[in-house]
Amino acid sequence: MISILISAVQPVTPEGIIDRYPNSYNHFVLPFVIGISFILVYLLIGLIRVLYHLTGEDRIKLLKSLFIPKTALKNLKDLFCDCLLHTKIWKRKPLLGYMHSAIALGWFLLIIVGHLEVYIFAPRHLEGITEGSLYYPIFYRFFIWINPAHETLRGTVFFFIMDLLLLYVLSGIGLAMFKRVRSIALGMRHTTKPSLADRVALYCLWAIFPLRLLAESFTADLSGGSFLTKPMNWMFKAFFGNELNFMPTWWAYSICLGLFFLAMPFSRYMHILTEPLLILMRNAGLKVRKPRKGFAEAEIYACSSCGLCIDACPMNSQKKNLKYSSVYFIRFLRRHNNRRINEIADKCLMCGKCAAICPVGVNSPEIRRVQRETLNNSINYDYSYLDSIAQTAKPENAEASAEGKVLYFAGCMSHLTPKIIKSVESLMKASGTEWEFLDKDKGICCGRPQMLAGKTQAARKAIQANKALIEASGCKTLLLSCPICLKVFKEEYGLKGIEILHYTQFIDRLAKEGKITLEKGTEAIVYHDPCELGRGCGIYNEPRNVLSAVGDLKKAPKERDESVCCGYSLGSMTLDEKDRAKIAEHSVDNLMAANPDCIVTACPMCYRAIRSKSPVPVKDFAEAVVENIKPSKTKK
């Protein structure tokens, strides 16, 4: 896009623009040159490191993805929306979004337009490093003298644009300073404590743009300026009388830039440079394989340490658990603080809310899971029961007639909540669905709890055994009532030719196909999005479609991908019962704000947790549906 723009504007050598310094060099550029050289070298080494730690397969995948048109288009869109516009933050907190896009997009455009200006008016200086191409465009306003007699319209337009952009960035910086004092004003209850490098980089960042304004104002009468720099130049002249002040400000400007780049790799601001890499890797479909290397390293450095995840984390309904937030997990991982890493990795409920709201999209629950994999696992599991259950899979089940049948897998949690199974059974009857019950008497764990615990090998055993049972059944549709199972079936089983459905999807389909007719009651219902179903599998609409047909569906203040975890997720290894109870209360408070007659959820775990704290009746999704099925007279 930029190259098209450039080719449209042919470079000229206007006679009125003269280099004030014959060599186009002044000592003050040194700090900036050191800083920028350091960060460029650091970036290169970092990039090589990250790529080196990827598996060969992943490297090829990443390379290939760059040339797939669809992915490349998505890359461009994500780079623009996430890195520059910050649309994700805009959506959640507009003021915070404005602050970020002002600094990111504003700065980016300053650099681009600055280079464009040099390309048009002094193209010689972009020709190579010896001509000062590294620093000249940054300090363009210092090095040139514009003969006022030769000012052009084009030049004036550039002056205006540059001043406007500078003002844009400054407004963002102003907000950033205000946010430090009062974070709540920008919609953040908790924010992170900055480290030393963070502080250095932060204060430099704050200083860079005001200093730039000062510096360019001091030289505005020589090198030109617009509505911002020109009036300031006149004002300074009136106050200071001479032009000697401009040297120290240009020095200060350069030093701040240099210092910022030097502090950058050790500070949160590394996210500015890492995020583009993360976007490319994510869009290529790479997965975290090691908790600190390869893809994970890109994620760790892409974390902006903004702390949005602190407010989002369900554990933080109690202040003492603030320390388990993802931002601190990433921070300790970055600093190789192993003791703390494992503690934090184990506590997490894996609800995924931090990843859902993360402005850079760091999937820290996945890193936590992989971190759990690294722990010593010396327990010898007894898998003998798998064989005894596998023997019950009779080959004669695999009849041709089984193809149209629905295979229901209840899973352990549905078995612990018999109401759900009863409701599913009556639903099958009411809709006239032909079905088989895979784990009525004996069942094998779906493998998700082991996956969450980082016991991937143990999970593989269960997955393998279950997969064989499902394939032997001959059914082509697999129905699940537990979203915990659903996620692992979808992601890890690789069942070819078998459709995997959650009962919310299945019931929605039955209703749409007219196999069941729902009667609209008057009850005010609020729906709780289970983590594994919503954020985990992206199923938000189907349950709502059905529930709005059986009652008056209300909205909870926090719902869909912002839904509050019930606290009883299988994800946490060490969170104790009291903390879980507190989270459940918090989750119920959110639902009760909608003032419902009953709460409906579609996960046996959530159902039990919410029921233990809810002042109003709690129903399972299938139960709520079965209560409202209109008995049809023409049963086939």
Residue 418 engages other proteins in binding (rule: CB under 8 A): yes
Residue with Cβ nearer other proteins (125 or 608):
608
- Options 577, 631, 634, 636; binder of other proteins; rule CB under 8 A: 577
Q: What angle do CA 613, 618, 623 make, to 5 degrees?
A: 155
Report CA torsion sign: 12, 16, 22, 26: negative
What span, in angstroms and rounded, lies between the C-alpha atoms of 48 and 147?
47
Residue with Cβ nearer other proteins (15 or 441):
441
Tokens of 313: 């984390």
Candidate ranges 304-312, 339-347, 362-370, 414-422; the one touching other proteins (CB under 8 A): 414-422
Residue 45 engages other proteins in binding (rule: CB under 8 A): no
* Smallest distance, other proteins to C-beta of residue 494, A: 29
* Smallest distance, other proteins to C-beta of residue 415, A: 5
Candidate ranges 136-144, 228-236, 319-327, 409-417; the one touching other proteins (CB under 8 A): 409-417
Residue with Cβ nearer other proteins (327 or 410):
410
Residue with Cβ nearer other proteins (44 or 416):
416
Going by the DSSP 8-state scheme, the letter that residue 632 receives in this structure is P
Residue 481's nearest CA partner among 418, 430, 524 is 418
* Smallest distance, other proteins to C-beta of residue 613, A: 10
Candidate ranges 159-167, 282-290, 415-423, 520-528; the one touching other proteins (CB under 8 A): 415-423
* Smallest distance, other proteins to C-beta of residue 411, A: 12
- Options 61, 293, 422, 490; binder of other proteins; rule CB under 8 A: 422
Name 379's Cβ contacts closer than 8 Å, sequence gap at least 6. Answer: none
Residue 441 engages other proteins in binding (rule: CB under 8 A): yes
Residue 387 engages other proteins in binding (rule: CB under 8 A): no
Residue 619 engages other proteins in binding (rule: CB under 8 A): no
DSSP string, 54-84: S-HHHHHHHHHHTTSHHHHHHHHHHIIIIII
Q: What single-letter amino acid sits at 393?
A: A
What span, in angstroms and rounded, lies between the C-alpha atoms of 570 and 531?
11
Q: What is the 3-state secondary structure of 561-630?
A: HHCCCCCCCCCCCCCCHHHHHHHHHHHHHHHHCCCCCEEEECCHHHHHHHHHHCCCCEEEHHHHHHHCEE
What span, in angstroms and rounded, lies between the C-alpha atoms of 311 and 322?
9
Number of helices (H), then strands (E), in the chain: 31, 12
Which residue is it, tokens 């502080």? 199
Candidate ranges 115-123, 164-172, 273-281, 419-427; the one touching other proteins (CB under 8 A): 419-427
Name 22's Cβ contacts closer than 8 Å, sequence gap at least 6. Answer: none
Name 347's Cβ contacts closer than 8 Å, sequence gap at least 6. Answer: 315, 321, 324, 572, 573, 574, 575
**Which string of b and e fits 242-279 if b means at least 16 CB within 10 Å?**
eeebbeebbbbbbbbbbbbbbbbbbbbbbbbbbbbbbb
Name the helix (H) or strand (E) containing 425: helix 418-431
- Options 88, 125, 586, 608; binder of other proteins; rule CB under 8 A: 608
Residue 570 engages other proteins in binding (rule: CB under 8 A): no
Residue with Cβ nearer other proteins (161 or 581):
581
Tokens of 249: 């400000």
Residue 385 engages other proteins in binding (rule: CB under 8 A): yes
* Smallest distance, other proteins to C-beta of residue 385, A: 7
What span, in angstroms and rounded, lies between the C-alpha atoms of 107 and 199?
20
- Options 416, 432, 595, 617; binder of other proteins; rule CB under 8 A: 416
Residue with Cβ nearer other proteins (83 or 584):
584
Residue with Cβ nearer other proteins (422 or 560):
422
* Smallest distance, other proteins to C-beta of residue 568, A: 9
Judged by CB under 8 A, the number of residues near other proteins is 14
Candidate ranges 69-77, 133-141, 322-330, 417-425; the one touching other proteins (CB under 8 A): 417-425
Residue 419 engages other proteins in binding (rule: CB under 8 A): yes
Residue with Cβ nearer other proteins (249 or 417):
417
Radius of gyration of the chain (CA): 30
8 Å CB contact between 549 and 630: no
Residue with Cβ nearer other proteins (545 or 612):
612
Tokens of 516: 């069941």
Which residue is it, tokens 């280079």? 115
Residue 581 engages other proteins in binding (rule: CB under 8 A): yes
What span, in angstroms and rounded, lies between the C-alpha atoms of 272 and 572?
32
Candidate ranges 395-403, 418-426, 474-482, 494-502; the one touching other proteins (CB under 8 A): 418-426
What span, in angstroms and rounded, lies between the C-alpha atoms of 286 and 275?
15
Residue with Cβ nearer other proteins (340 or 419):
419
Residue 612 engages other proteins in binding (rule: CB under 8 A): yes
* Smallest distance, other proteins to C-beta of residue 623, A: 11
Residue with Cβ nearer other proteins (59 or 415):
415
Residue with Cβ nearer other proteins (267 or 417):
417
Candidate ranges 24-32, 62-70, 411-419, 502-510; the one touching other proteins (CB under 8 A): 411-419
- Options 226, 371, 417, 473; binder of other proteins; rule CB under 8 A: 417
Interacting residues toward other proteins by CB under 8 A: 385, 415-419, 421-422, 440-441, 577, 581, 608, 612
